[in-house]
């Protein structure tokens, strides 16, 4: 049967309530131009009404999303990797729900969260400067310890043995205090693919001046005898 004007308006209003006028536009156009014969208008309206949630802003299974007055929706389930933010296609949020939940209850501000700092560098034997006799030195370029920072610890995460002599011992200093950032010498003569303990700092932890970290390796006889080796060092501090 042909739809009356009142029936057309009623159907359009139902679609508008569902927030899906554009999504159901094809059906609407068919109804309005008479090419789709609706024998029972109430049945058609019941189908649309069944898709409308009980309240705006409330998500219900297998129903349309009808946003609240503030464009809000109380629950939304999105698969990991399925959410993007920003204009256009947006930027994908790659963190999983479990990873995001790690922040639950955290009350720190941005400054506190960024207080812990780290820099690291891998230094090969050829990067060291012959310091005379048995000593080779290298100034770290990956970062410095800034004014106002408190040094925490250093970590030796990998060693390819500094071979060629019969021993090689590393200290971590600041150019004045040769072992400010470790307590005892660190054996870097042998390989240690998984690293080796660097010990606790022995010098002043608080920095009232900026410090460049100097690696010093002392061999048994002469630095020039070293023919291989590298060390990866990480430095941690609070600002």
What tens digit of pLDDT does each residue of 134-162 get? 999 999 999 999 999 999 999 999 999 99
Report d(CA 42, CA 62) in Å as an integer: 21
Report d(CA 106, CA 33) in Å as an integer: 58
Are 220 and 176 within one domain?
Answer: yes
Report d(CA 155, CA 120) in Å as an integer: 9
Residues 6+ apart with CB under 8 A from 219: 134, 135, 136, 162, 164, 165, 166, 167, 168, 225, 226
Are 125 and 224 within one domain?
Answer: yes
Report d(CA 114, CA 105) in Å as an integer: 17
Residue-wise pLDDT for 160-207, tens only, equals: 999 999 999 999 999 999 999 999 999 999 999 999 999 999 999 999
Where does a domain end: 40, 67, 101? 101
Check: CB of residue 161 under 8 Å from CB of residue 186. no
CATH of the domain at 233: 2.60.120
The domain containing residue 76 runs over which residues? 5-101
Q: Flag whether the pTM goes above 0.75.
A: no
Are 227 and 154 within one domain?
Answer: yes
- Nearest of 178, 114, 171 to residue 146 by alpha carbon: 114
Residue-wise pLDDT for 97-119, tens only, equals: 888 888 787 777 877 878 999 99
Where does a domain end: 35, 68, 101? 101
Q: For the chain, how many structural domains are there in total?
A: 2
Q: Which residue has the tokens 């240690």?
A: 192
Q: In a 10 Å sphere around its CB, with 0-12 CB exposed, 13-18 middle and 19+ buried, how is residue 211 labelled? A: buried
Check: CB of residue 229 under 8 Å from CB of residue 124. yes
């Amino acid at each position: 049967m042909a739809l009356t004007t009142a029936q057309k308006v009623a159907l359009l209003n139902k679609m508008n309530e569902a927030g899906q006028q554009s999504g159901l536009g094809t059906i609407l156009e068919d109804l309005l131009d008479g090419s789709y014969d609706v024998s029972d208008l109430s049945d058609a309206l019941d189908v649309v009404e069944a898709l409308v949630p009980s309240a705006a802003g409330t998500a219900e299974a297998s129903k349309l999303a009808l946003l609240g007055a503030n464009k809000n929706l109380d629950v939304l389930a999105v698969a990991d990797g399925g959410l993007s933010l920003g204009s256009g296609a947006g930027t994908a949020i790659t963190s999983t729900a479990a990873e995001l939940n790690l922040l639950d209850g955290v009350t720190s501000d941005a400054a506190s969260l960024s207080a812990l700092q780290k820099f690291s560098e891998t230094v090969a034997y050829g990067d060291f400067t012959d310091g005379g006799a048995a000593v080779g030195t290298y100034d770290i370029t990956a970062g410095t310890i800034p004014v106002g920072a408190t040094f925490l610890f250093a970590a030796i995460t990998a060693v390819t043995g500094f071979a060629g002599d019969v021993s090689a011992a590393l200290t971590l200093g600041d150019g004045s205090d040769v072992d400010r950032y470790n307590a005892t010498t660190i054996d870097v003569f042998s390989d240690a693919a998984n690293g080796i303990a660097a010990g606790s700092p022995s010098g002043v932890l608080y920095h009232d001046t900026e410090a460049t970290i100097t690696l010093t390796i002392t061999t048994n006889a002469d630095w020039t005898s070293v023919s291989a080796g590298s060390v990866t060092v990480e430095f941690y501090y609070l600002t």
